[in-house]
Amino acid sequence: MMENRLPDYIDHIQQAATDARSFVEGLSRNDFLADRRTQQAVLMSLIVIGEAATKVMDAYGEFSRMHTNVPWRSMRNMRNRMAHGYFDINLEVVWETVQEWLPELLEQLPAVRQSAEMSQKTE
């Protein structure tokens, strides 16, 4: 099995963020709060994002420190809360994350992905 490379982790984050955004497309906040299936799908996406961010921080610490505009720690912390505090998940925060935070993250990622490619070439 080929080991994941830094660009792959960035791709996982981008894909999961794109998925989460598409799951809520056309939904109002109230629709989302009433739709358990969509909530589960979004939560899974956020867990994937946090998992990949954790891998970047652990395996490519220097890279994550170079890209301080990316909220690596917030992604990891959210994943930990989702995975371990399952019954205490605040769906308002989840909704806000998908609406406000993910679009910003998706804007940052192409440049970060490019940087990840470059850093892999120099290793």
In terms of Cα–Cα distance, which of 71, 72, 69, 81 is closest to 54? 72
- Alpha carbon distance 107, 41 (integer Å): 22
Q: Is 67 labeled as catalytic in the residue annotation?
A: no
- Annotated active-site residue in 21, 36, 79, 81: 79
Selecting among 67, 73, 84, 113, the annotated active-site residue is: 84
* Residue 102 · residue 20 · CB < 8 Å: yes
36 is catalytic: no
**Residues assigned a catalytic role:** 79, 84
